């Protein structure tokens, strides 16, 4: 068959198919529809024909079972043997001998906590180990207000805020915090730790970028871990390094799809005690177009003319901070936490923040206590003044007069963190565990002389996680918490006892 015969045969075949197709009922209507709808567009017709054939093939395809067993079936003896051999990973790392000894000697307070606390052994000691900055733990006015609220609202709402857990006192506390800070809106959480660890993953997701200070606290680290975002670290409170990291991120992301970018830092750092340079951070966040999450857990209620935090202290508008997170449990002696910002930021959390959505609301008496303390800070500036005077008095007794330790905290911070001087650590070749042992002996020595202080607890590591993987090693230190419940003379005596305890331990270990 030559080419001309083949062409003729193909024409006859197509004509025959056309004749047979026209005999099918409705074929004329179908052809008119195709011509009018697609205007003889062959590409569109071919695509629809392909989809039609795919649908026919899918419907006619043989069935298959989704429950088909594709695993190896084990005998009962094999199952029992595997169960006997299985050893679960511990939820936490086992205690070291040092930790066990520390727990056995840990002092137990009997009765209310205050500047003077009674221990289980009957001794009364000066307490500089609790966050009772304004001596509010035993305040009779707050106590009566809490009892009154307890009798009116009960112990707790017994439900999440979005499901019959929100009460009018919660809304009042949110309004009070918002007014105190000068933000548009505020949301209150039931627990301080879970506030920042829920706020971060509510906004930052997988693929987003977080630039964080290496010294941020454990709650922030958990929030970043939960978010599964890409983490970039900058050296602690080093604004030059922060700028370099931000510039590097912007350069790397220039040709990639746009992602959300955050800077996360603290007002007063929990692990070091020093203060962020918020003015410079705000400048850099605008230059490189990052959002800013500021954790004011330890600066809210402490810094500023009315205790509004580092924004008030450094003269930065709260509008420059996207999410301002704080605690109601530390300086305010209440409980829970909050996040303040724009109304859009706050309302988003009411549906997407896990600790808010899935946790019972804050007990009413704690919300009332927080509101009462805020009112005290606004109307009684003497509270802040007295605490700051006691801080100066303690500084004069410890930092310049001790040859062994120095204070890493900001001079406005009522939590003084005392670490061994670098030359002492280097000359004696002290490891982290060696320093912890020495510091614990200092705590025990001071307690023996009537002063109860504590050590700075290191951030927990995951099991089998090394210091290199953590990325930043916390230097052990002593923690001394000031309170206005002590007179100037009592603060001076307390500082002298602590300084002598440090000297005695260090000289005994030569």
Band of pLDDT at residue 463, cut at 50, 70 and 90:
very low
Q: For residue 38, what pLDDT is reported?
A: 60
Largest Cα–Cα separation, the chain? 120
Cα–Cα separations (whole angstroms), residue 256 to 208, 228, 233, 289, 310: 12, 19, 21, 16, 35
Give a three-class secondary structure readout of 425-483.
HHHHCCCHHHHHHHHHHHHHHHHHCCEECEECCCCCCCCCCCHHHHCCCCCCCEEEECC
Kindly state the tokens that stand for 336: 């829970």
% pLDDT > 90, the chain:
69
- pLDDT 10s digits, 388-416: 999 999 999 998 888 999 999 999 999 99
Phi, psi dihedrals of residue 471, rounded to the nearest 5°: 95, -15
Sheet holding 185-189: strands in order across?
185-189, 337-341, 323-327, 291-295, 261-266, 209-213, 230-234
**b/e burial code for range 281-309 (CB count within 10 A of at least 16 → b):** bbebbeebebbbbbbbbbbbbbbbebbbb
Sheet holding 451-452: strands in order across?
109-110, 116-119, 124-127, 451-452
Q: For residue 467, what pLDDT is reported?
A: 53
The CA distance from 345 to 185, in Å, is 8
Report the candidate in 376, 375, 410 with the shortest Cα–Cα distance to residue 392.
410
Q: What is the mean pLDDT of residues 308-316?
A: 96
Q: For residue 449, what pLDDT is reported?
A: 95
- pLDDT 10s digits, 154-167: 998 888 998 889 99
- pLDDT 10s digits, 339-377: 999 999 999 999 999 999 999 999 999 999 999 999 999
Phi, psi dihedrals of residue 234, rounded to the nearest 5°: -125, 155
Q: What is the mean pLDDT of residues 220-231?
A: 94
- pLDDT 10s digits, 203-217: 999 999 999 999 999
Q: What is the mean pLDDT of residues 311-328?
A: 96
Indicate the burial class of 160 (C-beta count within 10 angstroms; 0-12, 13-18, 19 or more). Answer: middle
**DSSP 8-state assignment for residue 333:** S
Kindly state the tokens that stand for 149: 């609220």
Q: Where are the alpha helices (DSSP H) in 86-158?
A: 97-104, 140-153
pLDDT exceeds cutoff 60 at 170: yes
Three-state DSSP class for residue 109: strand
Cα–Cα separations (whole angstroms), residue 74 to 50, 80, 81: 46, 10, 11
Q: What is the dihedral of CA 225, 230, 236, 237, to 10 degrees?
A: -110
- pLDDT 10s digits, 51-94: 888 888 888 877 666 566 666 788 999 999 999 999 888 887 78
The CA distance from 253 to 270, in Å, is 32
Residues 6+ apart with CB under 8 A from 470: 459, 461
Continuous segment of H or E residues that includes residue 186: strand 185-189
Residues 6+ apart with CB under 8 A from 206: 227, 228, 229
Kindly state the tokens that stand for 242: 């922060």
Least confident of 92-101, 202-211, 326-335: 92-101
pLDDT exceeds cutoff 80 at 26: no
- The label of the residue with tokens 């209310």 reads 112
| C-beta separation of 128 from 451 below 8 A | yes
């Amino acid at each position: 068959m030559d080419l001309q015969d083949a062409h003729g045969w193909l024409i006859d075949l197509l004509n025959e198919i056309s004749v047979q197709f026209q005999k099918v009922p409705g074929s004329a209507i179908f052809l008119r529809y195709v011509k009018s709808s697609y205007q003889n567009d062959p590409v569109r017709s071919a695509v629809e024909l392909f989809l039609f054939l795919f649908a026919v093939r899918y419907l006619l395809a043989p069935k298959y079972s989704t429950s088909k067993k594709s695993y190896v079936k084990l005998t009962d003896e094999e199952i029992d043997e595997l169960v006997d051999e299985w050893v679960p990973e511990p939820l936490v790392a086992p205690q070291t001998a040092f930790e066990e000894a520390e727990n056995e000697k840990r002092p137990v307070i009997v009765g209310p906590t205050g500047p003077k606390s009674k221990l289980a052994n009957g001794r009364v000691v000066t307490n500089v180990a609790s966050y009772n900055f304004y001596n509010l733990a035993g305040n009779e006015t707050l106590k009566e207000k809490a009892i009154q609220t307890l009798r009116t609202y009960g112990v707790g709402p017994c439900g999440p805020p979005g499901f019959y857990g929100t009460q009018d006192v919660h809304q009042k506390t949110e309004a009070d915090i918002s007014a105190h800070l000068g933000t548009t809106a505020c949301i209150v959480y039931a627990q301080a730790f879970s506030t920042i660890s829920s706020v971060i993953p509510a906004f930052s997701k997988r693929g987003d970028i977080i630039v964080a200070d290496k010294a941020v606290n454990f709650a922030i680290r958990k929030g970043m871990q939960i978010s599964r975002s890409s983490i970039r670290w900058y050296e602690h409170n080093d604004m030059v390094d922060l700028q370099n990291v931000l510039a590097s991120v912007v350069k790397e992301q220039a040709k990639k799809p746009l992602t959300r970018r955050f800077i996360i830092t603290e007002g007063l750092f929990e692990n070091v005690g020093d203060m962020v340079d918020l003015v410079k951070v705000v400048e850099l966040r605008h230059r490189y177009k990052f959002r800013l999450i500021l954790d004011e857990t330890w600066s809210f209620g402490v810094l500023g003319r009315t205790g509004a935090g580092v924004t008030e202290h450094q003269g930065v508008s709260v509008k420059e901070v996207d999410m301002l997170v704080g605690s109601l449990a530390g300086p305010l002696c209440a409980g829970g936490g909050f996040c303040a910002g724009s109304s859009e930021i706050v309302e988003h959390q009411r549906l997407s923040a896990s600790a808010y959505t899935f946790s019972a609301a804050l007990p009413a008496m704690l919300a009332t206590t927080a509101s009462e303390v805020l009112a005290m800070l606004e109307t009684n500036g003497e509270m802040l003044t007295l605490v700051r005077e006691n801080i100066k008095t303690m500084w004069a007794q410890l930092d310049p007069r001790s040859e062994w330790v120095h204070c890493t905290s900001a001079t406005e911070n009522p939590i003084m963190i005392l670490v061994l001087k670098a030359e002492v650590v280097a000359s004696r070749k002290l490891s982290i565990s060696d320093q912890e042992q020495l510091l614990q002996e200092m705590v025990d020595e001071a307690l023996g002389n009537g002063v109860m202080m504590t050590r700075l607890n290191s951030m927990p590591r995951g099991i089998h996680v090394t210091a290199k993987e953590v990325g930043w090693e916390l230097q052990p230190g002593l923690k001394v918490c000031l309170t206005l419940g002590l007179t100037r003379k009592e603060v001076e005596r307390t500082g002298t006892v602590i300084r002598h305890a440090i000297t005695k331990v260090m000289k005994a270990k030569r």
